[in-house]
Amino acid sequence: MSVNFIPLSVPNLQGNELNYVTEAITKEWVSTAGSYVVAFEENMAKYLNVSTAVACQSGTAGLHVALRLCDVKAGEAVIVPTLTFIAAVNPVKYLGAEPIFMDCDDSLCLDVEKLSCFCEQECQFDGNILTDKQTGRRIKAIVVVHVFGNLANMEHLMQVAEKYHLKVVEDATEALGSYYTSGTYCRRYAGTIGDFGVYSFNGNKIITTGGGGMIVARRQEDIAQAKHLTQQAKADEVRFEHDEIGYNYRMTNLQAALGVAQLEKLEDFILHKKQNYEYYQKAVNDIRGLRILGFEPEIRPNYWFYSLQIDADFPMDREEVMAYFQENKIQTRPIWGLIHEQKPYLGSRIYQIEKATWYWERILNIPCSSNLSKEDAERVVKVLAEVAKRKKDFYKMAKMDDCQLVQKEK
């Protein structure tokens, strides 16, 4: 009997998407002007409890604009995590600056303790400017990524940033809907704590516009400037006068129509993903050598991705488990290759990279779509149990063959 293919993470388009996109097409507002762009920005700002949001072409575009508004210049440095998708780091290079790669902690987010030690021990601070003693570069900003819907330790990170006069860009592209439930930032959403926050609506994100992003900022003048830059920096839209170099980064009305519909379902998606996460955690953690990574206790995560940790005492390594899933028509993915080891970043400044390497060797992401059925989740767990049993049986057979061979030689 053939079995269905279970993808890793796909869109859930069961709401008003078709109605809103059809309306946009009917009214012939399909490009970067239209009511849905405005509505999506307003609805996102309301959801996040911020004053304004600016829709843009992608999360990467949003990060580029945010770093430019942090006044990052060529020859300067920006602190970034090595355990992330490369789009969080590339915009540093767009501006001619250089990344300084930091390790992760057990949340998979940037290790703020090491960040603090780096600033204290490896840098010089004159009361205004932080300089890397090894390279002589001025450090202007930090990009912190909230990995897989978890939240970095923003309370400590913001203290470090304030102490050393560093701008903070939150890459919340994976964490829309995650927020703190206690502490200084209780009820504050991922992306709304630093100087800038950026979200992504790529096809695999918790809500999607096919491609697209959103920028929020602490200061109203920064968000106004972000909107200006994403629309080619038009000083006079009628006469096509431009006062600086801008970008063609505006979201289309068709994309925004999808976004408005998707945002209406966001909390439903989070609830469904939470239920599947809890099922996975309970079932998988009963299999020796496997566990589903948890989320930080003081947050309400969006449960975007489920991270399977494969320990050394499990009978297969990550590559073998991934191959077995593929044989069973289940899509999985390893965590990203560490960015400081990627070809464009070889030789970049790094600082005490340890845990990122450890997790890179052991983490496999398993199906997590917001429309993943209970039956499909059960099949994922069943295949994992089969992996464990299959390899154990192989070891038993190999051991028996060795014993028979010894007896025969005697």
CATH of domain 17-264: 3.40.640.10
**75, 125, 132, 145, 230 from 136: Cα distances, Å:** 10, 12, 5, 25, 32
The radius of gyration of the chain's CA atoms, rounded to the nearest angstrom, is 23
Where exactly does CATH 3.90.1150.10 map onto the chain?
267-398
pTM assigned to the model: 0.93
Where exactly does CATH 3.40.640.10 map onto the chain?
17-264
**6, 277, 362 from 314: Cα distances, Å:** 23, 21, 11
Task: Give the bridge partners for 54, in sequence order.
Answer: 215
**46, 67, 99, 345 from 90: Cα distances, Å:** 30, 11, 9, 10
**Which distant-in-sequence residues (6+ apart) come within 8 Å of 254 by Cβ?**
21, 24, 25, 30, 36
Q: For 181-272, where are the E strands, in sequence order?
A: 196-200, 213-217, 234-236, 241-242
Written out in words, the top-level CATH class of the domain with range 267-398 is alpha beta
| Contact call for residues 284 and 358 (beta carbons, < 8 A) | no
| pLDDT string in tens for the chain (410-residue length) | 578 999 999 999 999 999 999 999 999 999 988 899 999 999 999 999 999 999 999 999 999 999 999 999 999 999 999 999 999 999 999 999 999 999 999 999 999 999 999 999 999 999 999 999 999 999 999 999 999 999 999 999 999 999 999 999 999 999 999 999 999 999 999 999 999 999 999 999 999 999 999 999 999 999 999 999 999 999 888 888 999 999 999 999 999 999 999 999 999 999 999 999 999 999 999 899 999 999 999 999 999 999 999 999 898 999 999 999 999 999 999 999 999 999 999 999 999 999 999 999 999 999 999 999 999 999 999 999 998 887 555 444 334 444 443 344 44
- CA 172 to mean position of chain CA atoms: 6
